[in-house]
Amino acid sequence: MIDIRAITKQFPGVVALKDVSFDVRPGEFHSICGENGAGKSTLMKILSGVITSYEGQLIVREQPAAFRGTRDAEQAGISIIHQELNLVEQLSAAANIFLGRERRRGLAFLDDRAMEREAAELFQQLECEVRPSQPVGELRVGDQQLVEIAKALSLKSEILIMDEPT
């Protein structure tokens, strides 16, 4: 499904990753462990298209991949849940899940009911009691993390990367 071959990433004065190689096949779970500064988050950002400049090669479904950004990674079936929450506190849980990918009725109107219905289904899959209409700023941090997970699941990605999910 995805092959990581000889990935090296340097920042000024720092080698963040050196010759990292491994593969991920359907149904597998992988955990990457290491101390702070070991390059875990850098690798996740490369795999999800956040970092686009590096040495080495990514192969997705046996095809070379050169992501120009996160949209390219998402189109390739890769989603990431970053360790930093990326939510708009004033918006509802449903609005955060579909931000930038809003469901519409016709050309101009948002379909809030459809987004809330889909969000409720995602929260049911996660077995959590987050209300889709609730502003995320009112949620506990653990529930905000569940909104991030629901957002990634809504993309129907084949590869889900979780950067420090605890």
Q: Tens digit of pLDDT for each residue in 1-60?
A: 899 999 999 999 999 999 999 999 988 999 999 898 899 989 999 999 999 999 999 999
Task: Indicate whether 30 belongs to any domain.
Answer: yes
Residue spans of alpha helices (H) in 38-92: 40-47, 70-75
Q: Which residues touch 163 (CB under 8 Å, ≥6 apart)? A: 40, 41, 44, 80, 81, 82, 83
Q: Are residues 68 and 99 in the same domain?
A: no
Task: Indicate whether 67 belongs to any domain.
Answer: yes
Q: Which residue has the tokens 């050309």?
A: 107
Across the chain, mean pLDDT equals 91
Task: Indicate whether 88 belongs to any domain.
Answer: no
Give the chain's domain count: 2
pLDDT at 62: 92
What's the domain range around 41?
2-76
Q: pLDDT grade, residue 147 (50/70/90)?
A: very high
pLDDT at 164 over 80: no
Task: Indicate whether 161 belongs to any domain.
Answer: no
Q: pLDDT grade, residue 85 (50/70/90)?
A: confident
The 14-24 sheet, strands edge to edge: 14-24, 2-11, 55-60, 63-65
Q: Are residues 69 and 102 in the same domain?
A: no
Task: Indicate whether 165 belongs to any domain.
Answer: no
Which residue type does 13 have?
A: G
Q: pLDDT grade, residue 166 (50/70/90)?
A: low
Q: Are residues 97 and 58 in the same domain?
A: no
Task: Indicate whether 14 belongs to any domain.
Answer: yes
Task: Indicate whether 50 belongs to any domain.
Answer: yes
Task: Indicate whether 163 belongs to any domain.
Answer: no
